[in-house]
Amino acid sequence: MAVVAGVNGRRIVIGVTGGIAAYKSAELVRRLRQHGAKVRVVMTAAATEFITPLTMQALSGNPVHTSLLDSSAEAAMGHIELARWADAVLVAPASANLLARMMLGLADDLLTTLCLATEAPLFVAPAMNRVMWTHPATQQNCQVLQQRGVKLLGPAEGEQACGETGVGRMLEAEQLLNALGKYWQQGGLVGCRVLLTAGPTREAIDPVRYISNHSSGKMGYAVAEAAVAAGAEVVLVSGPTALVCPNGVERVEVETAAEMSDAVQAHIEQSQIFIAAAAVADYRPAAVQAKKMKKDAAELSLPLQRTEDILAQVAAAANKPFCVGFAAETHDLEKYAQDKMQRKGLDMIAANQVGDGLGFNADDNTLMVLWQDGKQEIARADKSIVARELITLIAERFHAQSTS
Ligand code: CTP
């Protein structure tokens, strides 16, 4: 299946800013529609100096949106409705000015308001003079936007409208079309069953006390949500957390490592992907006291025994799913993660540094993702954004493995 097939049926907002490259967006809109996408165009005031809204209306088959206060376009579809309608927003061309306004979170025209109001993936295809592109201000703006999950497409190198040669040309319509198609095709977990573990476990000492850890479950829950967004059917085996079950996720609530292991075994056969994000207690008290223990002794030792390694068991099974583990380390992150991946026979491992305000209970995270013949770092961002990037990587590797 050609990669562009990924755009079929998708609702795409194309944002156009003022620049010579705006003529390429006309071609992009035409090609997107040819491949079955539904397209709506938002133009800044400057964009209308380069290409007419009428051209874009004819090519997209929809009224063009040019102003926050344009009552007729707003009446047809208001900016919030448009923000919700979109499966993706692609700003092409994205001028230096637009990137700066996006970075600041301004909402001073329809396009920037839309970028702020949408929860859909945001793509930008910069187009500008090479000096403007390499200016530290533009570079820094792009870096911040990428950290927030905005995807940068291009720019390319070549001859520029100003007569100079360098980096700053907008990608061609065909390249943008392919990038969008690839995003959905590879990010897609449609038809996949994903089994996840998340949260801590509690290992009883007596009827009122237990051994546990600081895991909040936030990362695992964010990954479950991202997997649903990518089209997967998701079962989440969760230790005790204060979190609300994400929409579309089937949650199985457990307390101990043994219960978590049983729940995983009960669902594993139907799953193509297993993601172990839980912080499973490594040890449990060898015996659970039937009655509350009294503090008569000055010192107390508790004999502990190892719990079952749920992930290692799944990864060792004959018909194992694609297995993804997590590793939380305070030092030598890559070395320990690599070692854990080999030792447990995993397809992928997501390693994160703990300490420095990162890790357990934080809202932000950063990951180093390793697989058998590659690695990628996911920059520090909100856990929901990091989770989406992780799911995209998992889907890519999973599909690559199942077609090899
Ligand atoms: N895991 C599991 N079952 C366990 C222990 C861990 O499924 N009983 C999974 C976790 O969900 C995570 C990965 O294994 O995906 C973490 O490996 P683990 O060996 O627990 O890491 P550490 O405890 O940090 O290892 P070490 O003691 O070697 O640092």
Domains contained in the chain, CATH given: 11-184 (3.40.50.1950), 193-284+301-403 (3.40.50.10300)
- The rounded distance, in Å, linking the Cα atoms of 367 and 352 is 5
User: Closest by alpha carbon to 42, among 23, 17, 69?
Assistant: 17
Q: In the sheet where 11-16 sits, what is the strand order?
A: 38-43, 11-16, 88-94, 122-126, 151-152
- Phi, psi for 396 (deg, rounded to 5): -60, -50
Please name the residue whose Cα sits nearest to atom 23 of ligand 1: 282
Q: Which two tokens stand for residue 337?
A: 């993660």
> What is the DSSP annotation of 181-240?
HHHHHHH--TT-EEEEEESB--EEEETTEEE-----SHHHHHHHHHHHHTT-EEEEEE-S
Q: Which residues make Cβ contacts (< 8 Å) with residue 226, sequence separation at least 6? A: 384, 387, 388, 390, 391
Q: Note the pLDDT of residue 330.
A: 87
CA atoms 246, 266, 275, 219: torsion sign: positive
252 alpha carbon – ligand 1 mean position (Å):
20
The token duo for 369 is: 């993702």
String of DSSP letters for 267-279: HHTT-SEEEE--B
Q: For position 32, what pLDDT does the model report? A: 96
For residue 88, give every residue at least 6 positions away whose Cβ sits within 8 Å of its Cβ, in sequence order, or none: 10, 11, 12, 13, 120, 121, 122, 123, 180, 183
**CA 123 / ligand 1 centre spacing (Å):** 36
- Residue 282 alpha carbon, nearest atom of ligand 1: 8
- For 194, residues 6+ apart whose C-beta sits below 8 A from its C-beta are 224, 227, 232, 233, 234, 235, 271, 272, 273, 274, 275
Cβ-based neighbours of 85, under 8 Å, separated by 6 or more? 11, 13, 40, 77
Place of tokens 């900016």: 79
From the candidates 162, 192, 245, 323, which is the catalytic residue? 162
DSSP string, 296-342: -SSS----EEEPP-HHHHHHHSTT--EEEEEEEESS-HHHHHHHHHH
Residue 314 Cα: closest atom of ligand 1: 7
For a pocket test of ligand 1, which of 196, 259, 280, 283 has the largest count of ligand atoms closer than 8 A to its C-beta? 280
> What is the whole-number distance in angstroms between the Cα of residue 309 and the centre of ligand 1?
7
Atom 29 in ligand 1: residue holding the nearest Cα: 329
For residue 1, what pLDDT is reported?
38
Which of 223, 275, 282, 347 to mutate for ligand 1's pocket (most ligand atoms within 8 Å of CB)? 282
Atom index in ligand 1 nearest the CA of residue 257 equals 8
Ligand 1: residues whose CB is within 6 Å?
A: 197, 257, 276, 278, 280, 282, 307, 309-311, 325-328, 340
What is the pLDDT tens value at each position of the chain, 404 positions in all? 356 767 877 899 999 999 999 999 999 999 999 988 999 999 999 999 999 999 999 999 999 999 887 666 555 678 888 999 999 999 999 999 999 999 999 999 999 999 999 999 999 999 999 999 999 999 999 999 998 989 999 999 998 888 888 999 999 999 999 999 888 765 578 889 999 999 999 999 999 999 999 999 999 999 998 898 788 899 999 999 999 998 789 999 999 999 999 999 999 999 999 999 999 999 999 999 999 999 999 999 999 999 999 999 999 999 999 999 999 988 999 999 999 999 999 999 999 988 766 666 678 889 999 999 999 999 888 888 899 889 999 998 998 887 66
Q: Distance between CA 282 and CA 287 in Å, rounded?
A: 15
162 counts as catalytic: yes
Q: Cα(302)–Cα(287) distance, rounded to whole angstroms?
A: 9
CA distances from 65 to 92, 98, 109, 163, 236 (A): 15, 17, 11, 32, 41
350 CA → ligand 1 middle, Å: 12
Distance in Å, CA 277 to ligand 1 centroid: 9
